[in-house]
Amino acid sequence: MNVLHVIANPRPAETSVSKKLAFEFFAALMEKNPDVVVNNVDLYQNKPPYVSSEALNYFWGPVVNPAYIPSKAEETAANFSNNNAQALVDADVLVLTMPVWLNSFPAILKAWLDQVLVPGKLFTFGPDGVIPIHHLRTVVLLVSSDSVYKEDDATDGLTPAIRAIFSYIGVDDIQIAWADGQDASRHFDSEQRREMALEAAREIAEDLAEQV
Ligand SMILES: Cc1cc2nc3c(=O)[nH]c(=O)nc-3n(C[C@H](O)[C@H](O)[C@H](O)COP(=O)(O)O)c2cc1C
């Protein structure tokens, strides 16, 4: 099993709750299944650029016109995508480690998704719409937030967006370990919430490890 781990958090591991979830997740996964191959991608070490007009032409030109030939400038503008999308194509499982920022995921993750989730790489189009060209089965979200978010919370701009983005390419299995209520000054049970999320991360990893 190939696991792509994308880290969208600039904070060091010692102070980051979401990175603690990731540590727990991968420890459990590797313990249960040492054959798992993990590819770690820290977006703050390899920052995706915003998609430019030239990159858009490169991604979507062939969809509009199959005979389209990109210019050198358009090809250069798609460098990040060309160098990084394959890692997602090769993955069986995608793990996203991140904090909640402004009720959503950090912009750097959106920038990465805009670069890699593009036609010709992750999906193509047939008469009935989108055809996936990947074998991704599951997306795991390892998330931390100061506030408490209830199930289907109207202020949660993270999980509905991730679900919609991956559903578009045929992936509906989204597993979540979310340490919410991490602001101890507002939430007396922040530690228990963190423990519950760590336990959830372990359980998700153990289930996945058995799937091979
Ligand atoms: C720029 C910024 C925006 C934030 N916005 C939210 C928010 O909308 N909701 C929330 O619950 N916490 C918010 N937080 C708090 C973080 O989500 C919280 O501290 C989380 O535990 C950080 O994860 P980490 O420990 O893995 O870095 C924000 C923090 C920062 C720095």
Q: Quick check: 44 pLDDT over 80? A: yes
Residues in contact with ligand 1 by the CB-under-6-Å rule are 9, 11, 16-19, 99-103, 144-147, 182
Q: Do residues 143 and 111 make contact, with C-beta atoms less than 8 angstroms apart?
A: no
Q: What is the DSSP string of 30-77?
A: HHH-TT-EEEEEETTTSPPPPPPHHHHHHHHHHHH-TT----HHHHHH
pLDDT (mean) for 157-182: 98
Question: How large a percentage of the chain has pLDDT more than 90?
Answer: 98
Instruction: Count how many domains the chain has.
Output: 1
What is the pLDDT at residue 79? 98
Q: How far is residue 199's CA from residue 205's CA, in Å, rounded to a whole number?
A: 10
Q: Is the pTM of this model over 0.75?
A: yes
Terminal Cα-to-Cα distance of the chain (whole angstroms): 5
What is the pLDDT at residue 11? 97
Nearest CA to ligand 1 atom 27: 16
The 10s digit of each residue's pLDDT in 181-209 is 999 999 999 999 999 999 999 999 999 99
Q: How confident is the model at residue 212 (pLDDT cuts 50, 70, 90)?
A: low
Q: Do residues 75 and 58 make contact, with C-beta atoms less than 8 angstroms apart?
A: yes
Which helix (H) or strand (E) covers residue 3, if one does? strand 2-7
Q: Calculate how far, in angstroms, residue 143's C-alpha sits from the geometric centre of ligand 1.
A: 10
CATH of the domain at 76: 3.40.50.360
Give the ligand 1 atom nearest the CA of 148: 11
What is the pLDDT at residue 211? 87
How is residue 187 annotated by DSSP? -
Nearest CA to ligand 1 atom 2: 101
Which domain covers residue 47, as residue numbers? 2-211
Q: How far is residue 149's CA from residue 179's CA, in Å, rounded to a whole number?
A: 10
